[in-house]
Amino acid sequence: MKIGIIGAGIGGLASAIRMASKGHEVEVFEANSYPGGKLSQFKLGNYRFDAGPSLFTQAQYVEDLFEVAGVKIDDHFQYKKLEVVCHYFWEDQTRLKAFSDSNLFAEEVSKVLGVNGQQIHQALDESKRKYEVTGKIFLENSLHKLNTWTNFEVIKALFKIPGLDLFRSMHKTNKQLFDHPKLVQLFNRFATYNGSNPYKAPGLLNIIPYFEHKVGAFFPKGGMHSITNTLYQLAISKGVTFHFDAKVNEILVKNKTAHALSVGSQTHHCDKVICNMDVFHAYRQLLPKEKHPHKTLNQPKSTSALIFYWGIKKQFKELGLHNILFSENYREEFDLLDSGKISDDPTVYINITSKHEKGDAPADCENWFTMINVPFNSGQNWEELIKKSRQNILNKIKRTIGVSIEPLIQEEDILDPIKIESRTSSHLGALYGTSSNNRMAAFLRHPNFSNKIKGLYFCGGSVHPGGGIPLCLLSAKIIDELIHS
């Protein structure tokens, strides 16, 4: 069977490996000159940066691809578990290390915040329980096939819905779990992992801390882009053919069946098509003659990001790989995001890979991936917002860690929602496609297959089960099972 894959993002790479490992002939068509989509890299002078995703969890889904391919992962990909998942900072000079080990995390919370560390254990146990009830069932299977819902394990899970916090927000759930506002804010933060608002998103999203503090967070040798490189090389070793600078013009459909891809002046025939392009643009650009699922495509979008890549000519011992500088008014920050605006006091995330990869920055220097959450692009004046946000970020850093870093910036580049859309085809620059603020959002995402067109499948962050590296990898697994079941 011949498989045509549109896009060499992480979902497309995973699909290529799975299809080729089953003996199919696979061709991947990528509009960019490089693989990886958002999971790419670049250099500024002597500084290297991962351009997109910076957190690596659920490493087992990468391992699974090597197992499927029949290749030993240790010969190609190495990663280490982080002792401290994230360093948290507040302007009142409170500083807290979120240790990977839940016992150490609980001790830190007790020491720094003066609360009973048992709250951490209870919250993480609850996170684990919710994941075990719903995670494997609803994240690793299609929600749009009848056989999922007739599975005995799914039926059992449905009876447990009242205890899964689907009908109250993450914030309300966390207020019940914790009696300290800083802990509530810390655990509310996990809503941003899929571009959502913790004051609206359902408490079920509290399964996310389980991945960091029960399974673990990791750092891949060579940085996050090594995930892309590794999977790209694995795909090539399985016989996958890649075409770069090869923008697909149209998915050709005949008798309600996808049968070919129009690329430039050529037509590439295939038996199945897997689309790793943002599903909105996939319909609008590649399926102009077909009926579009407007209700699905017009779901509210997730937030986006504004990233400043800074080469900093100094090292900061108090900072780690992942760092969060919290805003003073978290609810206001999200209210503004929902209205298409940016807070003057944004929560700032700083990722510094040179903490683990010394070659990512010159000696005594650091590479700062400095990000704030921003709304998707709805016509704002981004030139003005970028200038204002840059100063607000610099002010925030100075207030929180006591150093003026502007004189330390040797190199700078900027990524905003408009550039995100142009480089990755993410509709309106929304990083995670549809937002998860609605408790039914998981069911409203586009399925991993077309109900109208035979032989057409969808993977990546804009479809089920959602955005982020682990979920994109799972989308490829679901397609594999749909095609070969």
User: pLDDT of 350-361, one tens digit each?
Assistant: 999 999 999 999
Residue whose tokens read 């994230």: 86
- Strand 84-89 and strand 95-99: the pairing is antiparallel
The answer to whether 464 touches 475, Cβ cutoff 8 Å, is: yes
- Of the chain, the percentage scoring pLDDT greater than 70 comes to 94
Q: What is the pLDDT of residue 160?
A: 61
What count of Cα atoms within 13 Å lies in the side-chain half-sphere of residue 33? 2
HEC-encoded secondary structure of the chain: CEEEEECCEHHHHHHHHHHHHCCCEEEEECCCCCCECCCCEEEECCEEEECCCCCEECCHHHHHHHHHHCCCHHHCCCEEECCEEEEEECCCCCEEEEECCHHHHHHHHHHHHCCCCHHHHHHHHHHHHHHHHHHHHHHCCCCCCHHHHCCHHHHHHHCCHHHCCCCCEHHHHHHHHCCCHHHHHHHHHHHHHHCCCCCCCEHHHHHHHHHHHHHCEEEECCCCHHHHHHHHHHHHHCCCEEECCCCEEEEEEECCEEEEEEECCEEEECCEEEECCCHHHHHHHHCCCCCCCHHHHCCCECCEEEEEEEEECCCCCCCCCEEEECCCCHHHHHHHHHCCCCCCCCCEEEECHHHCCHHHCCCCCEEEEEEEEECCCCCCCHHHHHHHHHHHHHHHHHHHHCCCCHHHEEEEEEECHHHHHHHHCCHHHCCCCECCCCCCHHHHCECCECCCCECEEECCCCECCCCCHHHHHHHHHHHHHHHHC
Q: Which residue matches tokens 């998707």?
A: 376
87-145 per-position pLDDT tens digit: 999 999 999 999 999 999 999 999 999 999 999 999 999 999 888 887 666 777 776 66
pLDDT of residue 149: 53
CB–CB of 375/315 below 8 Å? no
**Contact (Cβ atoms closer than 8 angstroms) between residue 474 and residue 444:** no
Closest CA to 393 of 340, 331, 325: 325
- The topology under which CATH files domain 2-38+223-299+437-484 is FAD/NAD(P)-binding domain (3.50.50)
Q: What span, in angstroms and rounded, lies between the C-alpha atoms of 234 and 142?
A: 26
CA angle (193 as vertex; 187, 198 as ends), nearest 5: 50
Amino acid identity of residue 406, one-letter, is E
pLDDT at 166: 73
b vs e for 245-280, b when ≥16 Cβ sit within 10 Å of the residue's Cβ? Answer: ebebeebbbeeeebbbbebeeeebebebbbbbbbbb
Percentage above 90 pLDDT, the chain: 84
Give me the pLDDT at residue 185, please. Answer: 98
Name residues of the chain where pLDDT drops below 70.
135-137, 143-163, 439-443
- Which positions ≥6 away from 141 have C-beta within 8 Å? 148, 151, 154, 478, 481
- Which residues, listed in sequence order, are joined to residue 87 by a DSSP beta bridge? 97, 323
Position 160: which residue type? K
Is residue 3 a contact partner of residue 18, using CB atoms and an 8 Å limit?
A: no
The pLDDT, as a whole number, for residue 65 is: 98
Q: What is the pLDDT of residues 152-198, one digit of tens each?
A: 666 666 556 666 777 799 999 999 999 999 999 999 999 999 899 99
pLDDT of residue 139: 76
pLDDT of residue 165: 76
**Cα of 466 vs its chain's centroid, Å:** 8
Q: For residue 103, how many other CB atoms are within 10 A of its CB? A: 11
What is residue 442's predicted lDDT score, i.e. its pLDDT? 56
Q: What is the average pLDDT value for the chain, to the nearest integer?
A: 93
Return d(Cα 39, Cα 48) in angstroms, integer.
Answer: 14
pLDDT of residue 159: 58
- Domain ranges in the chain? 2-38+223-299+437-484
Residue 297, pLDDT score? 87
pTM of the entire structure?
0.94
pLDDT of residue 345: 98
